């Protein structure tokens, strides 16, 4: 079994081993994977964090040992975007990047070294993170199918990253996330951090957002935004149009 980790800010995961193939998800810096098969330029990988599979360009990964694979789990959280240097050039670091091997101003991922001008802020699991502080920097981030960062993010990616920085691991897709947690029986009982799921005409869950209270939701639709909620679903505050049909509200934060 071969282990690897992402050595670029954001690496696309594609459906097929081709640059023109659809992006299904992304890897963030330091995210570890298992290599399942390879072509000349691409590797089919399985993400350690959420088990997602896709094809990643080989040059965006580096081989790591099993110990690194099993222990690199701290996150950059305080700043939505910070930076380090690699080979003397700046590289952006986005919130949610794994930096478990940061030491003495350096992050070593395999044979690649990243130098940080300042001590990066990492998730402290001994302290309660403020969910609003985590969510607010994502406001106005453009919607991007498969995206997981402040440069572009989809609805389930937004939810997954926010929860990751609360030290709660979620699967990648909305329908998978909907299988977790306890149902909130009435919308009026919804609290900040509860997840609202929405379905299409065929009854398939296709959208998710994070409740701010019983009447407002933050979600990625066109961009990360705050809209109104009622028992039927989301109402766009700009157009007053109903955009998503509510299926269920779940509570995953005790």
Residue 33, strand partner residues: 4, 47
User: Could you say which of 6, 43, 56, 207 is catalytic?
Assistant: 207
Is 207 considered catalytic here?
A: yes
Tokens describing residue 129: 């993170």
Out of 32, 43, 56, 155, which one is annotated catalytic?
A: 155
Tell me the DSSP string of the chain.
-EEEEE-SSEEEEESSSSTTSPEEEEEETT-EEEEEEE-SSEEEEEETTT--EEEEEGGGEEEE-HHHHHH---BB-S-SEEEEEETTEEEEEETT-B-TTEETTEEEETTEEEE-SSPPPB--TTSPPPHHHHHGGGTTPBB-TT-EETTEE-HHHHHHHHHHTTT----SSHHHHTTSSEE-S-GGG--TT-EEEEE-TTS-EEEEEEESSSSEEEEEESEEEEEEEETTEEE-TTT--EEEEEEEEEE---
Which residue of the set 43, 56, 219, 244 is catalytic?
219
- Residue 155 is among the residues annotated as catalytic for this protein: yes
Identify whether 19 is a catalytic site residue: no
Tell me how far apart the terminal alpha carbons of the chain are, to the nearest angstrom. 37
Which residue numbers are catalytic? 155, 207, 219
């Amino acid at each position: 079994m071969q282990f690897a980790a992402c050595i670029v800010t954001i690496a696309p995961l594609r459906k097929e081993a081709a640059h023109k193939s659809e992006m299904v998800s992304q890897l963030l810096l330091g995210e570890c994977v298992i290599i399942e098969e390879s072509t000349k330029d691409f590797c089919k990988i399985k993400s350690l964090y959420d088990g997602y599979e896709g094809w990643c360009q080989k040059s965006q990964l580096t081989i790591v040992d099993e110990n690194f694979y099993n222990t690199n789990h701290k996150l950059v959280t305080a700043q939505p975007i910070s930076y380090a240097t690699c080979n003397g050039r700046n590289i952006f670091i986005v919130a949610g990047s794994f930096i478990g091997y940061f030491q003495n101003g350096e992050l070593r991922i395999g044979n690649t070294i990243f130098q940080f001008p300042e001590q990066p802020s990492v998730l402290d699991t001994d302290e309660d993170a403020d969910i609003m502080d985590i969510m607010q920097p994502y406001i106005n981030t453009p919607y991007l199918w498969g995206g997981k960062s402040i440069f572009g993010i989809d609805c389930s990616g937004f939810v997954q990253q926010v929860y990751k920085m609360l030290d709660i691991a979620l699967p990648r897709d909305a329908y998978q996330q909907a299988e977790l947690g306890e149902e909130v029986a009435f919308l009026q009982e919804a609290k900040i951090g509860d997840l609202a799921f929405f379905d299409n005409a065929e009854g398939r869950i296709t959208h998710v957002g994070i409740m701010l209270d019983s009447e407002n939701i933050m979600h990625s639709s066109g961009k990360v935004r705050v809209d109104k909620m009622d028992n039927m679903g989301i109402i766009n505050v700009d157009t007053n149009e109903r955009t998503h049909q509510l299926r269920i509200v779940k509570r995953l934060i005790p």
